[in-house]
Structure 1
Amino acid sequence: MFSFNERLGLFLTLEASCLSLACVLFILGFVVYKRLRRTVVSWGKQTARRPDASDSSLFLNLMFADLIQALGNMPSFKWMIDAQITEGQLCTAQAAIKQVGIVGVAMTSLAISVHTFSVLVLRWNAPRYVTRIMVIGVWVFAAIVIGTPNIVHAHKRYYGDTGYWCWILVEFKAEEIVTEYLWVWVAGIMNAILYTIMFVVMRGWFIIDNGIHWHKNYTPSYPNVVEVETEEETQTKAIANLMLFYPAVYIFCCLPNSISRWRFFNGIPTPDRVTFLGSILFALSGTFNVSLFFLTRPELVIGPKSDRIIEDEHAPFHHRWSSSGGAHKLGHLPERQYTDAPPAKDRWNSPEFDPKTLTSAVLHTSPQGMTLQLPPREGRQHSKAGSSLIEEEDYGHLPA
């Protein structure tokens, strides 16, 4: 029989799970409403959207995994009322649902980190179908990892009472690690590694340009030109920077619970307060993810601000690219623009400046400077509107 303090710990865990459940259901419901409304408004028309640095499919999949994880704690309400765990179908259901949710959250969190890494460090904007494949892969992987031991031990008592909830019994220690803890730790470690790499690149300590360079030894390909960051690249970095909080929150939520459960299954005495603290933080992961969702993807909740309905079927190419999710089969790297002009405050005072050289044909719409015709590189570049060059690659295009 559970003591009062143990029942209180179960109650607080349930409260955290209910909060996560309510937040996730609100997000999913509101997203469905907004998308249905957007579909009705733009029916039969093309919609041009801003480039999505982090395809929303991964976020919605994270919300769905958090939903499953929160549902896995709901049977604990009966255990709290009865002050004990009764093994049976409900107990088995709780164990299986908890496994599916935890593995789903772990793999989706890792997928988000990998996707953010490709955008921020590798500068590769993957087309939308790549994230669709990642979402499908998460659940296929979860089905294989969780389903295989259940088939192997179909005639054995595999799930049961493990202290304060139902899960894999202690005698199946290898299955406990392989079907859940291993992937939680892999996701946490990989998130930490990718986060560290993204941090040093964002700080400018390492520069990714035709290889990896230490910032003190880096020599630009064109030392006499200044790289102009496009609006697309600025928006991409801003979203990707906020995305880095996802792995940090994941590690914060899963680490205490992993430590306490690992101590329990190895017979190391663990205070109840420590066990329930880890369980509560883990149950709150859905709430934390939803909070970050509002910060990183507010447009998906309140509606996009810059979507434009295009009536003309011969819309500009960049509009067609945005609405179709990518013009290149394997994505592209963000285009860069270069200019040989010094900063605005110094350009007009430069002794080499000659007003006669300024013509409407070579002047940017913004006062950033004149365009510079860069020398061709291996014959693989071509002019784009007289202001930028694009280098064709098998997997997309590199900015000149």
Structure 2
Amino acid sequence: MGTAQNLDVVSLSFSPIPTEIRHWLTAVVVLGFLSFFTSCSLFLVLGYRLFKWHLKAKRTNQFVILIFNLVLADIQQSLAFLLNTEWLRMNQIAVGTRICWAQGWFVSTGDLASGVWCLAIGIHTFASVIFNYRLRPLHFYLTIAALWTFVYGMALIGVGLHPHDLYVRAGPWCWVNHKFGQIRLWTHYFWIFVAQFGVTVTYALIYVMLVQRIRSGSFGEAEALRAKTISNFMVVYPVIYVFCTVPLASARMAAMSGHSPSLRHLCLAAAMITSNGWLDVLVYTMTRRIMIFSDEPPPEAYGVDTFSTPFWGDSHKRLRVTTTIEATARPGKGRGHMALHSRPPSRNGSTDDLVGAQKGIGLKEIMTVTTTEVRSDPAELADMVELEETRKQKPQTPEKRVSMDGVN
């Protein structure tokens, strides 16, 4: 790759790197390596889980797939700043080298992809939690392909327009030439600001709607407690993304308006944006542990199926008692009777069916079935929904489910 021609002083190679800037770049490299290592680790774990789930259950989970793509974006973003290792080794930022071009490419694709997938996860969470809606599998995978096409398409626009002098020195690393301000704005920072705004609004809406449902009594006691925990999680995701991306985006926008930031300012902003990777890994593994430790994919039927109690939360099991009383009329005669039928305990609990019948008016008896279930596993909101659906689907003929005696 040839050396770019007709570059101004702020775009030319930089040698030697001042000692103070070397210290700042070293911090950027360390945080970049941390993000790269943790993102690659989670990428491999999720890849293994998705493959295993597909083989075992013939299904996966849309949210986990979105996290998989976010981690892939974080890998590219962290790799961009990890390449500063080469500048530290050479004690110069060499424009026109393959490393310079690769770094510019990964900054363009990694930063944009991270914002795109953060927003996609926010929209998916909003649709799932608030409306219990998910795309059909075909539409879901087409959307994934379209988002990656958009990310790489934005980067290729600049490469196509300026193949020889697009990526040059832009402060303490290589990126888009400052002369191409329109390319910087419309293929990169405009969309990052859209992602920042979209992520903030989306999670704010989720939080407000969940809190409103809790206050209106839409949830039971256990559901309300879990919904409150989930709503608190919703604040963390946009805060991390905005906190990490705003400093660099605002610094570059200031440079476009003629107020160039110092190299130290840019290094600090780079340290924050490259921390996006390890912070994403930290927050998602702490709040969505099921995607790492579960042998079965979370069911797609529930909008909160991948949430779990964080490591700092209450790890003790909570008791749950569910009582269902059903009554049905059936023809019969004879004296009243009472029978107790026990089933084996399930999920660390016990379940008994207490069946009582009393002789009614005419030739009918009223059958009363009381099901009491005591469970000692962690109460999940999805389980509550599952219990309710199971109750609704129970047959209306209790004699098929229980043994009867004492009938003449």
Match of 1:287 among 267, 270, 278: 278
Q: Distance in 1 between matches of 2:230 and 2:140?
A: 16
Distance of aligned partners of 1:296 and 1:387 in 2 relative to their CA distance in 1, 3 Å threshold: farther
Alpha-carbon distance, 1:259 to partner: 1.6
Q: Is the 8 A contact 1:120 1:237 kept in 2?
A: no
Structure 2 residue identity aligned to 1:146: A
TM-score normalised by L of structure 1: 0.66
Q: Distance in 2 between matches of 1:117 and 1:187?
A: 15
Match of 1:259 among 238, 247, 250: 250
Match of 1:276 among 248, 259, 267: 267
Report whether the alignment pairs 1:94 with 2:103: yes
Let me know the Cα RMSD of the aligned residues: 4.1
- Describe the superposition over 1:315-356 as per-residue Cα deviations: whole angstroms up to 9, x where unpaired: xxxxxx95xx57xxxx9999xxxxxxxxx9xxxxxxxxxx98
Distance of aligned partners of 1:292 and 1:38 in 2 relative to their CA distance in 1, 3 Å threshold: same
Structure 1 residue identity aligned to 2:284: F
Q: Distance in 2 between matches of 1:39 and 1:386?
A: 30
Alpha-carbon distance, 1:227 to partner: 5.9
Q: 1:114: which partner in 2?
A: 123
Q: Is the 8 A contact 1:55 1:128 kept in 2?
A: no
Q: How does 1:27-106 map to 2 (within 5 A)?
A: 27-35=42-50, 42=56, 46=57, 55-88=63-96, 89-106=98-115
Q: Distance in 2 between matches of 1:288 and 1:229?
A: 33
Q: 1:146: which partner in 2?
A: 155
Alpha-carbon distance, 1:35 to partner: 4.8
Report whether the alignment pairs 1:181 with 2:189: yes
SS of residue matched to 1:73: helix
Distance of aligned partners of 1:48 and 1:185 in 2 relative to their CA distance in 1, 3 Å threshold: closer
Which deviates more from structure 2 when the two are superposed, residues 242-251 or residues 292-301? 242-251
Q: Distance in 2 between matches of 1:119 and 1:241?
A: 17
Work out which of the two has the higher radius of gyration on C-alpha atoms and give 1 or 2.
Answer: 2
Alpha-carbon distance, 1:128 to partner: 4.5
Match of 2:179 among 171, 179, 183: 171
Alpha-carbon distance, 1:91 to partner: 1.1
Structure 1 residue identity aligned to 2:115: A
Q: What are structure 2's unaligned runs of at least 5 residues?
A: 1-14, 306-321, 323-356, 375-390, 397-408
Q: Distance in 2 between matches of 1:84 and 1:188?
A: 33
Q: Distance in 2 between matches of 1:245 and 1:387?
A: 44
Report whether the alignment pairs 1:10 with 2:25: yes
Report whether the alignment pairs 1:19 with 2:10: no
Q: Distance in 1 between matches of 2:168 and 2:366?
A: 79
Q: Is the 8 A contact 2:206 2:234 kept in 1?
A: no
Alpha-carbon distance, 1:153 to partner: 2.8
Alpha-carbon distance, 1:85 to partner: 1.5
Distance of aligned partners of 1:125 and 1:6 in 2 relative to their CA distance in 1, 3 Å threshold: same
SS of residue matched to 1:55: helix
Alpha-carbon distance, 1:387 to partner: 9.3
- Describe the superposition over 1:48-82 as per-residue Cα deviations: whole angstroms up to 9, x where unpaired: 99xx6x62001010100000111112331122233
Question: What is the number of residues matched between the two proteins?
Answer: 312
Q: How does 1:337-348 map to 2 (within 5 A)?
A: none
Q: Is the 8 A contact 1:124 1:333 kept in 2?
A: no
Q: Distance in 2 between matches of 1:148 and 1:240?
A: 39
TM-score normalised by L of structure 2: 0.65
Which deviates more from structure 2 when the two are superposed, residues 287-296 or residues 131-140? 131-140
SS of residue matched to 1:167: strand
Which deviates more from structure 2 when the two are superposed, residues 26-35 or residues 115-124? 26-35
SS of residue matched to 1:102: helix
Q: Is the 8 A contact 1:113 1:244 kept in 2?
A: no
Q: What are structure 1's unaligned runs of at least 5 residues?
A: 209-214, 219-225, 309-320, 335-343, 345-354, 368-382, 389-400
Q: How does 1:356-395 map to 2 (within 5 A)?
A: 385=393
Alpha-carbon distance, 1:99 to partner: 0.7
Q: Is the 8 A contact 2:172 2:267 kept in 1?
A: no
Distance of aligned partners of 1:237 and 1:56 in 2 relative to their CA distance in 1, 3 Å threshold: farther
Q: Distance in 1 between matches of 2:235 and 2:274?
A: 21
Q: Is the 8 A contact 1:72 1:97 kept in 2?
A: yes
SS of residue matched to 2:168: strand
Alpha-carbon distance, 1:149 to partner: 2.9
- Of all paired residues, the percent bearing the same amino acid is 21
Q: Is the 8 A contact 1:116 1:243 kept in 2?
A: no
Q: Distance in 2 between matches of 1:385 and 1:109?
A: 38
Structure 1 residue identity aligned to 2:251: S
SS of residue matched to 2:131: coil
